[in-house]
A and B are shown apart, each in its own frame.
Chain A
Amino acid sequence: MSEIRRKRRFYFLGSLITLGVFLFTSSLMGCQPGELQEGVIEATHTNTGSSLVQLTNSPTETVNISATPETVDVKPSNAVNFDPPSIDPATPIPEPMAGLTLSEEVLVWILLGSDIEPPFIGQTPAIHLLFIHPRFSKASVVSIPGDLYVYIPGYTMQRISTAYALGGIGLLRQTLAYNFGVEPSRFVLAHPGDFQWLVDDIRTIEVTVFYPMPQACGGVRAGLVQMDGALALCYASYRQGMDEADRMQRQQQLMRVIFRKFANDGNLLMLPILYASYEGWVETDFSLDELIGYIPLALRLADVNRVSYYMIGWDQTTLWEIPGYSQAQVFLPIRDKVKTLLQQAIDDIMKPEPLTNQVQTLEAQLTAAYQVTATAAFVENATMTPSPAAPTPTKTPTPPGYP
């Protein structure tokens, strides 16, 4: 094996924005409705509310209140429809992945980070798959390395980070369906500037750097580091050689930090301004109404340990050199281990657990922040005008002890 090449690219972590976004900052993303295709697993979009507030996105939406969710064996329903390769592959094309067990309640979303600013279409080196169980208020994040070498339907074997650039979200969905047996129903794609801007908008973040990185970002010391947008972007983007796992860990770390920052101290009240700022930049097929409906879920997911983090890392891949003289290296998935990992991520969110008092604390902080803002707004505007999109609270029967 040749010497590992050092790569240092400024990738953006769509996930950093989007996890925070889907949880708390969801209103940021009512931007560019994208393509929505029939999925292999088309997750049912139900907003099962908590015992506190149940929001419905539309009058016709079904509220699933089943305490014992049904599970299905996931098989790519349109596996036979995957297009054959148009270019001879460098390595044999594997069979489509099938056999994951996934509840119909579970939402599957994809968070993407592009490496180029709009309007140009870049690769997506940051790819994070989300499994969300709204009723149990649990989520799993599965980070996928951009250099994972997979079959891109109709094209050839290639890095998964190229799928979006080659055919948009439609081709990426097909690629995920073929190689992982799951097809996200919603996507969010953000660009480097979006992430940097977000961190600056929330007035920097504090990140615990576990080991010094003298060679990266002008040198990052170990310990608690105050990061502005540019440093956070670099910290999340830097990759030493082929150590994608380390980079994905840093990305997931930033997700947690940003999420926590949004959840605490009523920072959620910043969301409308942020939404206006990001409109037209972040690409997504979420509607604003849809996102508003997920806000209660986002509050509950702020409870520690309700989001699990996984990655397709060294244990699930092998390093492989692409034939030819380029000595380019990619990760070949070990399919059984990848499947096991995905199933574990799904199974994790299928175990109901009681909420802690932290949720109530966060709600209280948000309410307090709101009261200050509402008072100021009331004084300024004299009257409050109810929004047409104001949510309607409904009762949601929830098993005792569960959110």
Chain B
Amino acid sequence: MNKKGPLKHKWIWLFTTILVVCAMAVTAFVKPKQTQAYPLNGEGTDRKAVITASYTTYEWWLLTWNNSQLVCQIYAEHEGLPANSEIEYYCGQQVLNDWLSTSACVFTDEITNTAECPGLYLHLASVTPGERQIEVSLMPASVYVDIADCNPQPPENRCETLPSLHLIAEEPLPNEQIINIQGYIGNSPFTCQGGECFIPLPATGVNGVQAVFWADSTYGDSSETFTAQIRIIPWGDFGAPDGQTTDEQQWYVDILSSQYLGNIDSSCSEIWSAFPPIGGPPAWLSSPLYPDGLISNQPYYYLAGSMISQGLVDAGTCADGGIQANGAANQCGLEIARELISDWQNQFNSEIIQVANDTGIPAQLMKNIFSRESQFWPGFSASYQEAGLGHLSDLGADTVLLWNPSFFSQFCPLILDTTVCQRGFGNLDIGDQEMLRGALVQKVNAACPECPEGIDLSKANFSIGIFARSLLASCEQVNQILFNQTGRTAGEVSFYEDLWKFTLVNYNAGPGCLSSAIQQAISSNYPLTWDSVQLFLEPGGCQASIDYVDDITFMPVLTQTPASPSIQPTTIMQTPTPQTTPTVQVTPTPTEVNPPVQTTPTQAYP
């Protein structure tokens, strides 16, 4: 023990020093913040399973008749003879041609032996059962978002009490559970144990607050990280000094998220992360709950002319049979057709409402665009190579196929092989892309010479859904254009209503016009509002879209039948179509009832 005395003495000094240095370090060397070198969720566990599929391989030999020489082997996994494509795959085009030119070996006076027959024959060499393992992806966990303590209904979206955020996580795999839901509300982190979570929400600014959330699973992975933009605005008199007021205190609540379980007010809102105006959108961007809310009674001369041409209306008592040279009705023809016109333009209201509910595209906007584009006559426009109520063109079809992958994945297998479709629209051969575009335009072309009215109404209704998806694609495109130009989401740099006007320009004049105008507005330090961006639309087809936007946004929602027929007939103004890059084009400004004017004969936008 005595030998350890000096060591003990050293230890006293050692610990004293350590403690002093420790105390100093606490105050002097604290690192301000730890660096996070890895993403929060790290690499997730792959949700894969392997399934075993049974199959049978049929081995065929292609041999020559004259000496039974083996030309090639073909392996098929189906009963019956191999298909020509399989023979071509295994044997080549020349052998396929030889096979196709071979006729049956029939004994005749000259041919008494199979060796005397020309060409090839097939022989089933073997049948082999087998199994293969296929890796399949399993459904991941997911989280949905809703509002608790309130059921806000668009467009007002009002709550009487301050609501809570309700997160619901789902784990689809058996015997696995959700451990917790975690994330941020603004900069504040939260963690909820289990698969359900209620988080009180504070009032936010007009731009709302972003929520980021995900769920952790016992499987060992996490769901995708989702986001929601939440806006809660006090609505009413919150400033009464004595707390008493006759003005009811409410909160305007809305959520933009792909995971929102409530009613979709506008899917493009979500794409842009742009809230609609507080209190609801303007009339032209509204979606009535019922078809009656879309009733219109517009005097459509082109529609009347089409009806007279199809024999639906007898205008024989009018001069020139009630039709002008351009196909539109004259005043007399319009008056005779007026009642039928009224019925016709409202027969699509139910479908428009349904599509609006399904896609989140405002119903009144669709109706206004149909009015502007086709006057509700959904036949094929030979002049413009456009079809359907929304006059879908080849380039319009291109937009929806390229920018709406969900729609593409549903539509493509109807036309092309599934394996080809898996490459995505952008990676298809040019020929396949053309085929898909053409097929889509034909799909919405409701012209039907055999039909009693010359129109296939089921196709006309179908075209509404396609048109809505085309608008969704345009919303995506606008968002991308703004992101490319500013590095920010659309909602951060512009407003909901203006973004819709940009979308109309994109739909009508093309992305080149819009992109160029936005670029110039940014360069000139103008705000990205419609009022400023329209100043930079290039003359010609691009500027023509200003009238297009004005027509649609200022189009009366409901017009009573005029007492006097002296009004100027509504001009059919087909969409001026730009080329890929905006060019100076003649603005179609007809001053009288004109047939559709094609401004760009090569390519047609809707």
A-B contact pairs, 29 of them (CB 8 A): A3-B50, A7-B45, A7-B220, A27-B18, A116-B42, A119-B189, A120-B182, A122-B216, A162-B218, A193-B37, A196-B37, A269-B18, A273-B21, A276-B26, A276-B30, A277-B29, A292-B19, A322-B174, A322-B176, A323-B174, A326-B49, A326-B174, A327-B49, A363-B10, A367-B14, A387-B22, A390-B19, A393-B8, A393-B11
User: Does B486 lie at the interface of the complex (its beta carbon under 8 Å from any beta carbon of A)?
Assistant: no
User: Using Cβ atoms and an 8 Å threshold, which residues of chain A touch B179?
Assistant: 123, 162, 165-166
User: What is the chain B residue whose CB lies nearest that of A397?
Assistant: B1
| Interface size grouping (class) on chain B | 35 or more
User: Using Cβ atoms and an 8 Å threshold, which residues of chain A touch B216?
Assistant: 122-123, 165
Hey, which bits of chain A sit against chain B, CB under 8 A? 2-3, 5-10, 27, 51-53, 55, 87, 90, 115-117, 119-123, 125, 147, 156, 158-159, 161-162, 165-167, 192-194, 196-197, 229-230, 233, 268-269, 271-273, 275-277, 279, 281, 292, 295-296, 322-328, 363, 366-367, 370, 373-374, 377, 384-387, 389-391, 393, 395
- Give Cα A312 to B193, complex, Å: 29
Min C-beta distance of A226 to chain B, whole Å:
18
- Give Cα A165 to B512, complex, Å: 52
- One of B25, B36, B42, B219 near A272 (C-beta < 8 A): B25
User: Using Cβ atoms and an 8 Å threshold, which residues of chain B touch A295?
Assistant: 15
- One of A194, A197, A271, A323 near B18 (C-beta < 8 A): A271
Pair A275/B189 contact, Cβ less than 8 Å: no
Pair A273/B43 contact, Cβ less than 8 Å: no
- One of A3, A10, A166, A385 near B133 (C-beta < 8 A): A3
Closest 3 interchain pairs by CB? A324-B174, A272-B22, A387-B19
User: Using Cβ atoms and an 8 Å threshold, which residues of chain A touch B382?
Assistant: none
User: Does B13 lie at the interface of the complex (its beta carbon under 8 Å from any beta carbon of A)?
Assistant: yes
B35-52 CB mask vs A (1 if < 8 Å, else 0) is: 111101111111111100
- One of A117, A119, A159 near B218 (C-beta < 8 A): A159
- One of A9, A196, A292 near B220 (C-beta < 8 A): A9
Pair B191/A87 contact, Cβ less than 8 Å: no
User: Using Cβ atoms and an 8 Å threshold, which residues of chain A touch B15?
Assistant: 55, 292, 295, 390-391
In B55-73, the 8 Å CB interface with A consists of none
Min C-beta distance of A168 to chain B, whole Å:
9
- Give Cα A9 to B41, complex, Å: 10
Pair A374/B13 contact, Cβ less than 8 Å: yes
User: Does B20 lie at the interface of the complex (its beta carbon under 8 Å from any beta carbon of A)?
Assistant: yes
- One of B16, B43, B46 near A5 (C-beta < 8 A): B46
B174-189 CB mask vs A (1 if < 8 Å, else 0) is: 1111011010000001
Hey, which bits of chain B sit against chain A, CB under 8 A? 1, 4, 7-8, 10-26, 29-31, 34-38, 40-50, 133, 138, 173-177, 179-180, 182, 189, 191, 193, 216, 218-220
Interface of B is mostly: mixed
Min C-beta distance of A165 to chain B, whole Å:
5
- Give Cα A120 to B23, complex, Å: 29
User: Using Cβ atoms and an 8 Å threshold, which residues of chain B touch A386?
Assistant: 16, 20
- Give Cα A326 to B172, complex, Å: 10
Pair A197/B8 contact, Cβ less than 8 Å: no
- One of A10, A121, A328, A366 near B14 (C-beta < 8 A): A366
User: Using Cβ atoms and an 8 Å threshold, which residues of chain B touch A366?
Assistant: 14
Pair B174/A384 contact, Cβ less than 8 Å: no
User: What is the chain B residue whose CB lies nearest that of A296?
Assistant: B11
- Give Cα A271 to B23, complex, Å: 11
- Give Cα A114 to B191, complex, Å: 15
- Give Cα A52 to B14, complex, Å: 13
Pair A279/B20 contact, Cβ less than 8 Å: no
Pair B177/A158 contact, Cβ less than 8 Å: yes
Pair B50/A384 contact, Cβ less than 8 Å: no
Min C-beta distance of A5 to chain B, whole Å:
7
Min C-beta distance of A229 to chain B, whole Å:
7
Min C-beta distance of B39 to chain A, whole Å:
9
User: What is the chain B residue whose CB lies nearest that of A166?
Assistant: B179
- Give Cα A158 to B189, complex, Å: 27
- One of A7, A120, A161, A296 near B191 (C-beta < 8 A): A120
